Structure 1
Amino acid sequence: MPFDVTVYTTTLITLIVIMDPPGQIPLFLSLVGQRSPEYRRRAAWQAPLVSLLVISVFAIGGKAILNYLHIGIPALQGAGGLLLLLVALQLLTGLGNAGNPKASDDVNVALVPLGTPLLAGPGAIAAVIVQVSSVDGEAAGYLAIAAAIISVHIVVMLVLRYSTVLIRVLGVGGITLLAKIAGLLLAAIAVQLIASSIMGFIAEGV
Structure 2
Amino acid sequence: MDLQLFGTAVVTLFVIVDPPGSVPIFLALTRSMDFRARNRAAWQAVWLSFGVIVAFAVAGGQILKYLGISLPAMQAAGGLLLLLVALELLTGKQDDPDSTATSNVALVPLGTPLLAGPGAIVASIVFVRQGSGITDYVAIAAAIVAVHAIILGFLRFSNVIVRVLKQGGIEVLTRISGLLVAAIAVQLIADAIASFVRQYGG
Task: Name the TM-score class by shorter chain.
Answer: over 0.9
* C-alpha separation in 2, matches of 1:158 and 1:103: 26
Q: What is the Cα-based RMSD across aligned positions, in Å?
A: 1.3
Tell me the amino acid that sits aligned with residue 159 of structure 2. T
Determine the structure 1 residue equivalent to 2:66. Answer: 68
* C-alpha separation in 1, matches of 2:174 and 2:75: 23
CA positional deviation for 1:97: 3.5
* Cα-to-partner distance string for 1:151-171 (whole Å, 9 max, x where unaligned): 000000011001111111111
Select the residue among 76, 98, 101 that pairs with 1:100: 98
* C-alpha separation in 2, matches of 1:99 and 1:15: 34
Matched, 1:5 2:3: yes
* C-alpha separation in 2, matches of 1:6 and 1:135: 12
- After TM superposition, what 4+ stretches of structure 1 lie above 6 angstroms from structure 2? none
1:80-99 superposed matches below 5 A: 80-99=78-97
* C-alpha separation in 2, matches of 1:104 and 1:142: 38
TM-score computed with the length of structure 1 as normaliser:
0.94
Matched, 1:119 2:138: no
TM-score computed with the length of structure 2 as normaliser:
0.96
**Inter-CA distance 101–82: structure 2 relative to 1 (3 Å threshold):** closer
Matched, 1:21 2:10: no
Q: Is the 1:34–1:172 Cα contact (8 Å) retained in structure 2?
A: no
Tell me the amino acid that sits aligned with residue 93 of structure 1. T
> What stretches of structure 2 of length at least 5 have no aligned partner?
none
Select the residue among 107, 131, 136 that pairs with 1:135: 131
Identity %: 53
* Cα-to-partner distance string for 1:30-51 (whole Å, 9 max, x where unaligned): 1112311111010111101100
Determine the structure 2 residue equivalent to 1:203. Answer: 198
* C-alpha separation in 2, matches of 1:57 and 1:12: 18
Determine the structure 2 residue equivalent to 1:178. Answer: 173
CA positional deviation for 1:98: 1.2
